[in-house]
Structure 1
Amino acid sequence: MIATAVVALALGRLTAWPTIRSLRTQLAHATWSMLHDPLTGMLNRAGLQAAHATLAETGPMIVALIDLDDFKRVNDTHGHGRGDDLLIQVADRITDIAALHGGAAARLAGDEYAALLPARTDDLGRIADTIATIVTQPIALPANSNPATVTITASVGLALVDTGDPFTEVALHRADIAMYHAKRTGRNRHAIYQPGMTMPPVQHRRGPRLRDQHQPTGEATA
């Protein structure tokens, strides 16, 4: 009787194992999807916020916000499929830069990316130049016929933030302000956040983006 029960238990476990494995796979996939951008495989906003919490334990960090200039032209000229190919290649480049510095990178929305880097240097201009130089290297867009090579520039905003600075209200917000100053001065440029710097007037902006709904409405944290 005991032997029968043991056999039944073993058979029950064998029968349940495929279901358990399937559930674990689904859970892992769901967890990954919550933290990653489906197109590029980079972290998404939630994933970058989690990375910020981890990196903040190691000390101050540099926040870089990278916005591609005139990306709509690529979609209009080459089609959305090739536009996606460009976004993926740019994502790979920014991911490599972040990994080289021991940081993390994300695609926030559309053609906007962000990187968090441990503050091992106070030469933010050099970091911005490195990002811009790598992003603006020519990109080959694959196609069955009529392949194309394009060059796209980026506006980069950087901010040096402390370990206790909140992710959205301070870290990302300050880099966002700097990035829009870079846009206003002609694009294909970088700007570094300085105390007291505020968001450029509305007429200089392209309009609200997906993450703008999360932004604080006041200037107290600028």
Structure 2
Amino acid sequence: MFTTLTVIATAAVAIVLAVWARHVSVETRRLRAALTDAAWQLAHDPLTGLANRAGLLAAHTILAATPQPIIVVLIDLDGFKTVNDTHGHDTGDDLLITIADRVEELTDLYGGTAARLSGDEYAALLPADGHDPDRLGAAYVAVIAEPARLDVDDAPTTIAVTASIGVALVASTDGFGEIALHRADVAMYHAKHGGGNRHVLYTPGMAMPTRTPRRGPRPRDQRPSQGRAGA
């Protein structure tokens, strides 16, 4: 009788432990998934799924760990406000997603990381790996300028935008914001100043153009930054 009770008690304990272990395992997986999702959201743009500024910084850190030249591309859409004003913000969002897909696809071909920094501004970091930055800039101009077919009020509509693009070739030891992005930013402003729908390659000593036709400051310019005065 005593042996039977012992066996039953042991079996019961085993069942309880198994159930508890299974519960712990499920809860652990749930927490791990929640943490992974939270980490992804911190590093990505919720609209397009591209990396955000934090994600691009992380990509730069990884890329810069290997001594090598890096190509930085900064993309600003021309006349995007007109799309929002004419077709509405939902259509504008659809266009931003379409452009993001194009930028990401081209960037992936060169082993880089694409990002949406804010509003209608994108960026890409790529290992130089012998690629011609000038030709790469031209490729981004071309893919973005292709007309997009979007549904506007349930009717297929062709919408086209162009982009002003700055391209900079930097060293892996150059700082992310104060040098890499800054140089591409200066070149992008020259492209914008030149009428848009073009790219400009940063050259040593290049400074901001004296006048730019851009509408107001960008959201990322209104936030405190870590020294963007480098050239």
| TM-score normalised over the length of structure 2 | 0.89
Q: In structure 2, what is the equivalent of residue 153 of structure 1?
A: 162
1:26 and 2:30 correspond: no
Aligned residue in 1 for 2:116: 107
**Matched residue type, 2:31:** L
Q: Is the Cα contact below 8 Å between 1:173 and 1:215 reproduced in 2?
A: no
**Which structure: larger Rg?**
2
Which deviates the most, 141-150 or 97-106? 141-150
TM-aligned CA deviation for residue 119 of structure 1: 0.8
DSSP 3-state at the match of 1:207 = coil
Q: What percent identity do the matched residue pairs reach?
A: 52
Q: What RMSD in Å do the two structures reach over aligned CA positions?
A: 1.8
What is the rounded CA distance, in whole Å, between the counterparts of 2:137 and 2:178 in structure 1? 22
Distance change >3 Å, CA 131–CA 203, structure 1 → 2:
closer
Give the distance between the partners of 2:33 and 2:172, measured in 1 at CA.
Answer: 35
- Aligned 1:163-182 pairs, distance under 5 A: 163-182=172-191
**1:86 maps to which of 85, 91, 95:** 95
Residue 86 (structure 2) pairs with residue 74 (structure 1): no
> Alpha carbons of 1:19 and 1:175: their partners in 2 closer, same or farther (altered >3 Å)?
same
Distance in structure 1 (CA, Å) of the matches to 2:225 and 2:212? 18
Q: 1:114 to 1:74 in 2, by over 3 A?
A: same
Using the alignment, how far apart are the partners of 2:181 and 2:136 within structure 1?
17
The alignment partner of 2:46 has SS state of coil
Equivalenced residue count is: 221
- Output one character per residue of 1:167-189: Cα deviation in whole Å (capped at 9) or x when no partner: 11110111011100110111112
User: 1: CA distance between counterparts of 2:81 and 2:23?
Assistant: 53
Point out where structure 2 has 5 or more consecutive residues left out of the alignment.
1-8
1:209 counterpart = 2:213: no
Secondary structure of 1:116's match?
strand
State TM-score, norm by structure 1. 0.92
C-alpha distance in structure 2 between counterparts of 1:137 and 1:198, whole Å? 30
Long gaps (5+) in structure 1: none
The answer to whether the Cα contact below 8 Å between 1:65 and 1:113 also exists between their aligned partners in 2 is: yes
> Aligned residue for 1:123?
132
Q: In the alignment, is the contact (CA less than 8 A) between 2:102 and 2:144 conserved in 1?
A: yes
Out of 37, 49, 52, the position equivalent to 2:45 is 37
Separation in structure 1 between the aligned mates of residue 123 and residue 159 of structure 2, nearest angstrom = 22
Contact 2:87 2:152 survives alignment (8 Å): no
